[in-house]
Amino acid sequence: MKNKKGRRSRNKATCNEDPACKANGDRLSRLPNDLLLNILERVQTFDALKACILSKQMLKLPAMLSQIVIDVGSLFPHPDSSREFGIRDVARVNGVVAKVTDNILWMRSPGIAMRKLNVRMVLRHYDVLSVGKSFAHAMATQKVQKAEIEFMTEKACADCTSADLVDFAKCFNTIFADCLDAFAGLCWC
């Protein structure tokens, strides 16, 4: 039988009784958490987050990942795509990176060690300040073996005026002063 949208509707009562329907259900959620974590750590962090939205059981897994690599570049479209990517899009994507980083780092239990924490984002004052604070919280409360934070500027160095460079330096100095714990264990490369 078809519904208003032209799609076939399933009789939920018969689906629950049918063993074939149960066998084709959500098999991923039935896996043990340690196996799911092993699988999720082999994909990019954003892809792991997308997979964890699938079920309630998997929603707690991102806070248990031992490797967190959040790269703003992974959210940009492929360079061959026909769509232009403007400064508004960069700001939107950078905001997503900041929010995701905050959520993951503030939800983590201090008992779970972190092997790798890598964040790469565009140097924009409000986004980077929130990430810096959550990064500082993680560095102060978590056992982090390797931590990297990389800030990129909105413009290429060749396109920057001296005023742009001064603005970027002021932004970085503000973040550095407000989030000393984030930079306490980091080395300069």
Tell me the per-residue pLDDT of 92-135, one tens digit each, with 9 for 90 and over: 888 888 888 888 888 888 888 888 888 888 888 778 888 888 88
Helix (H, G, I), strand (E, B) or coil at 142: coil
* Residue tagged 């959520």 (tokens): 103
Tell me the per-residue pLDDT of 34-72, one tens digit each, with 9 for 90 and over: 898 898 989 888 888 888 888 788 888 888 888 888 888
**Extended beta strands in 57-134, E state:** 67-71, 114-122
Whether pLDDT at 82 is above 70: no
Every domain of the chain and the residues it spans = 66-184
Tell me the per-residue pLDDT of 11-40, one tens digit each, with 9 for 90 and over: 555 455 545 445 555 677 788 888 988 989
Is-contact 115 66, C-beta < 8 A? yes
Q: Under 8 Å CB-to-CB from 70, ≥6 apart: which residues? A: 45, 46, 97, 100, 101, 104, 118, 119, 120, 121
DSSP 8-state code for residue 154: S
